[in-house]
Amino acid sequence: MSTANRSSTSVDEDKCGNFDVFDELVNELFSNDNYNDDDNGSENNDPINQGYIVNNNDDRKYNDFELIQMDKLLFLNTNTIISQSRQQSLSPLLNTMRKKITKTFRYTEVDLHELIGIDIDKIPHYLSNDNKLLEDKMRAIQPTINEKHSEELRQIAILMYKISLLERITSLWTMFRRVGMGTLELPSHIKQLDIKIWPIAVHTRIRQVENTHAYDDETCQMFIDHCLQKLNEKNDEYRHQLRFQTCHVTDYSLAMEFTIEKFIQHEFMSQHIEYDCQITLVLYHFIDEILKCHFSNENPNIKQKELLKRLCKYKYEETITKYEFNLFKNRISENCLSSSVQNQHNANSSLIVTAHRAMMQEKFFKQYAEIESNTSTNKVTISLDLIKQHMHQCQKQLNKEFEQMWHNQRTFSPDQRLTPTMVHLIDQRLTNIDARLKCIYTFKAQLLKIKIESL
């Protein structure tokens, strides 16, 4: 089967992407990134269970923009066409256009929340009425600020937050489109393929909105384009509201605007990092899918396919334990331990509270802190040892698999050996796994640093 005509991929089993990046990270994008290196379709080739789907790349007479314009013209003149040829059925092209215009109308009726699965209007805690942090910052600029004025400034901050969120979501969906349309530029060492690959996040949203498992190129592109249009319209709406409010708020100064912007920028940093991670991961998963297609084009036999799965699995496990070990060792074992003891001191345990005199309370605290410190240290040491043992075990499995691969290369007949291209593609797959996980843990370390600094 040629690459250009490949219509689907089956379930991936190489375990190279099923990893929760952060506790609060929207992980819909790669929630089912377990895919198979097999080229042939199987009974379980539902795109819902795939990280990506490769669709037909047929040559169409009209591009989608031209079809959209023709839809409007032909839809408006449908009655005239029917009246002129009542005995004739509508042409297949007209039927296709009418289906497409129907989809467009249906998308128009769906709000942005349902389309993208994210509630833009949900207010974060740091902008809620209960949180007075922003109000305190405003009072530092203008001590006489009243409740009405404070609420007006909070609404301005909410609009700034929504605009920041919309910009990150738009960047993510723009990346989805670049991947699906094949316009995403690959690194020079990766050979591009003329295929369209749509992220599972797009499939998931289409399934939620249309209750269908049909993910053809036309549907995916139209859905993304409409989501981007809605995002841009909502962004323009909030910017218009922001301009209006800033012009009508009493005593609104540049100092206030600068302070609110800095406040939103600081509080939004975690979400900004999470979206940056998702956007970056789109590239790594796209590269992985391209490499899978290249490997499939080499016509590997069953044993060679199984070998690639095992190598990817062991490489993933070895790499993730390595980065987890380093993160735990460099961050958690130090910061969480010190903050744990300090928090116990600040909160005062029930044991310390029972002390009536200051000297007795201090004595109890020192004893309690010493016990807590020793217990936490032991827990950290045991956890590090367990992770380290698992890391070494994964390294042994990976090395053993490589040794067997090179042994087979020397002893197998030429027709059973991996081709030089296959060996190169395997190396690229493993390198991409390492790069992807390094990216994840780089972002994870940044989030951990922000969390620790906020304590």
Verify that 11 and 125 share a domain, yes or no.
yes
d(CA 9, CA 54): 6
User: In the predicted model, is pLDDT for residue 168 greater than 60?
Assistant: yes
- Is residue 405 classed as helix, strand or coil in its secondary structure? helix
Verify that 280 and 328 share a domain, yes or no.
no
**Per-residue pLDDT at 87:** 42
Q: What's the mean pLDDT in 280-300?
A: 93
The phi-psi region of residue 348 (left if phi > 0; otherwise alpha if psi is between -120 and 50; otherwise beta) is: left
Q: What's the mean pLDDT in 360-371?
A: 51
**Per-residue pLDDT at 10:** 35
Range of the domain at 387: 300-455
Verify that 282 and 422 share a domain, yes or no.
no
Q: What's the mean pLDDT in 302-310?
A: 95
User: In the predicted model, is pLDDT for residue 374 greater than 90?
Assistant: no
Q: State the chain's mean pLDDT as an integer.
A: 74
- Is residue 11 classed as helix, strand or coil in its secondary structure? strand
Verify that 11 and 43 share a domain, yes or no.
yes
DSSP per-residue string spanning 309-361: HHHHHHHHHHHHHHHHHHHIIIIIIIIIHHHHHHHHHHH--HHHHT--SHHHH
d(CA 245, CA 243): 6
d(CA 329, CA 322): 11
Q: Please indicate whether residue 422 or residue 68 has the higher confidence score (pLDDT).
A: 422
**Per-residue pLDDT at 196:** 85
pLDDT band for position 96 (cuts 50, 70, 90):
low
**Per-residue pLDDT at 103:** 55
Burial class, 305, CB count within 10 angstroms (exposed 0-12 / middle 13-18 / buried 19+) = middle
Q: What angle is formed at CA 301 by the lines to CA 50 and CA 16, rounded to 5 degrees?
A: 35
**Per-residue pLDDT at 78:** 34
Cβ–Cβ under 8 Å, residues 35 and 55: no
Verify that 249 and 319 share a domain, yes or no.
no
pLDDT band for position 387 (cuts 50, 70, 90):
confident
pLDDT band for position 19 (cuts 50, 70, 90):
very low
Verify that 358 and 222 share a domain, yes or no.
no
**Per-residue pLDDT at 106:** 62
Of the three residues 271, 297, 323, the one that is the final residue of a domain is 297
Burial class, 152, CB count within 10 angstroms (exposed 0-12 / middle 13-18 / buried 19+) = middle
Task: Count the domains in the chain.
Answer: 2
**Per-residue pLDDT at 388:** 84
**Per-residue pLDDT at 375:** 57
Specify the DSSP class assigned to residue 5.
G
Per residue in 232-257, pLDDT tens?
A: 999 999 999 999 999 999 889 999 99
Of the three residues 238, 262, 297, the one that is the final residue of a domain is 297
**b/e map of 43-58 (b: 16 or more CB within 10 Å)?**
eebebeebbbbbbebe
Verify that 278 and 306 share a domain, yes or no.
no
Specify which residues 223 forms β-bridges with. Answer: none
What value does the CA radius of gyration of the chain take, rounded to a whole number of Å?
Answer: 28
Per residue in 213-224, pLDDT tens?
A: 777 888 899 999
pLDDT band for position 332 (cuts 50, 70, 90):
low
Cβ–Cβ under 8 Å, residues 206 and 215: yes
Of the three residues 257, 277, 297, the one that is the final residue of a domain is 297
Q: What's the token pair of residue 385? A: 């040892």
- Highest mean pLDDT: which range of 14-23, 322-331, 409-418: 409-418
d(CA 297, CA 41): 15
Q: Please indicate whether residue 122 or residue 27 has the higher confidence score (pLDDT).
A: 122
Q: What's the token pair of residue 345? A: 């001191």
User: In the predicted model, is pLDDT for residue 30 greater than 90?
Assistant: no
User: In the predicted model, is pLDDT for residue 276 greater than 70?
Assistant: yes
Q: Residue 54: what are its φ and ψ, rounded to 5°?
A: -105, 120
**Per-residue pLDDT at 36:** 40
**Per-residue pLDDT at 362:** 53
pLDDT band for position 275 (cuts 50, 70, 90):
very high
| Residues 6 or more apart whose Cβ sits within 8 Å of residue 236 | none
**Per-residue pLDDT at 122:** 94
Verify that 218 and 324 share a domain, yes or no.
no
- Highest mean pLDDT: which range of 104-118, 181-195, 201-215, 402-416: 402-416
Per residue in 35-75, pLDDT tens?
A: 344 443 333 333 223 333 333 333 333 332 232 233 333 33
Q: What's the token pair of residue 452? A: 């620790």
d(CA 166, CA 238): 10
Nearest by Cα to 21 from 239, 270, 237, 229: 270
Q: What's the token pair of residue 231? A: 């995002």
d(CA 114, CA 209): 7
**Per-residue pLDDT at 210:** 83
Identify the residue whose tokens are 């735990």.
328
Verify that 280 and 392 share a domain, yes or no.
no
Verify that 178 and 293 share a domain, yes or no.
yes
Q: Please indicate whether residue 157 or residue 211 has the higher confidence score (pLDDT).
A: 157
Verify that 357 and 219 share a domain, yes or no.
no
Q: What's the token pair of residue 21? A: 């990046």
Q: In which element (H, E) is residue 52 found?
A: strand 52-55
Q: In which element (H, E) is residue 197 found?
A: strand 196-199
User: In the predicted model, is pLDDT for residue 412 greater than 60?
Assistant: yes
Query: How many CB atoms lie under 10 A from the CB of residue 4?
Result: 13
Verify that 291 and 304 share a domain, yes or no.
no
User: In the predicted model, is pLDDT for residue 147 greater than 60?
Assistant: yes
Q: What angle is formed at CA 294 by the lines to CA 290 and CA 298, rounded to 5 degrees?
A: 165
The percent of residues above 70 in pLDDT, for the chain, comes to: 65
